[in-house]
Amino acid sequence: MNVARSEKFDIGKNVPIWIGRGEGKTANEALSSLYATSQIKLYWGHIKAIVCSEAILKDKNALRQAYDAINRYHEVRYNILLFGTKESFSEILSQKSLLYLSPLDTIMDTPEETYEQRSSIKPQYGYKNIAELNEKGRMIILPTLSIKKQVWQENKKEKTMFKIDGAFAMHEHQLVGWFSEDDLKGVRWFIKKSKRVFVNIPDNEKPAGALVLTKPRHRIQPLIEQDKARFNLYIEVRAAVEEMIDVTHQSRQSFY
């Protein structure tokens, strides 16, 4: 993949993307099989993200073995991003950035920039994944990458873009299921690093206003009622009024 960044980089210039496919009985054998045709020495230290298919997430042993093999490459760092996907790898790996910027300027490699403007599902890093997978009872939320159409156009032609549309839930190396972004709305209030959350008030077809919420704090109060555990959740956030709407003349808005 051509990922070079330069001060002389020409915005609008088509950046070629190269995809290599390795096969083997193990993850290490699959990675090593690329050496036969790479023409130059491969350096694994450039890896920014790892994308897992739904199939490997369903296989508890395959996921553990693949992750263990990758981490044994001393060039691979622990701060790499982790994603899941239901899309084909050829579609995911050939996705380009806006304005033909470097492939590093996408949600797959720099999700923090999008997360600062729209804090929905927090990016997951390798070092945190290792810690949480080995913690008993801990549930891991692995963001899923999808290809979104019908949003961006170039010269009246549709351009596909990455979107984090949900997440796989993992518990003790086992896939529990997939949840959509809408299913996980409540998770953002429990993440202290949530940067910016946009909500309509009220959240229905005819909102009277819009708020931007930041810096959430939460408190959990456990309760025992009729021998059943229940919890009261208290959420505190900072809010700023983003928009006031005249509900008497309201219609659905589109912006270009």
- Main-chain dihedrals φ then ψ at residue 37, nearest 5 degrees: -125, 5
Q: Is residue 174 part of a domain?
A: yes
Count of all residues that appear for the chain in the document: 256
Point out the domain boundary residue: 156, 185, 214: 185
pLDDT tens sequence across 157-197 = 999 999 999 999 988 778 999 999 999 999 999 888 888 99
Domain count within the chain: 2
Q: Would the pLDDT of 9 be above 60? A: no
Alpha-carbon span 229 to 236, nearest angstrom: 23
- Examine the domain organization and report whether 209 and 91 are in the same domain: no
- Examine the domain organization and report whether 216 and 97 are in the same domain: no
- Examine the domain organization and report whether 114 and 20 are in the same domain: yes
- Examine the domain organization and report whether 161 and 204 are in the same domain: no
Q: Could you tell me which of 147, 144, 145, 203 has the C-alpha nearest to residue 175?
A: 144
pLDDT tens sequence across 64-96 = 778 778 877 788 888 899 999 999 999 999 998
Question: pTM, whole model, 2 decimals?
Answer: 0.83
Point out the domain boundary residue: 185, 212, 238: 185
Q: Is residue 191 part of a domain?
A: no
Q: Is residue 190 part of a domain?
A: no
Domain span holding position 38: 1-185
Alpha-carbon span 129 to 91, nearest angstrom: 25
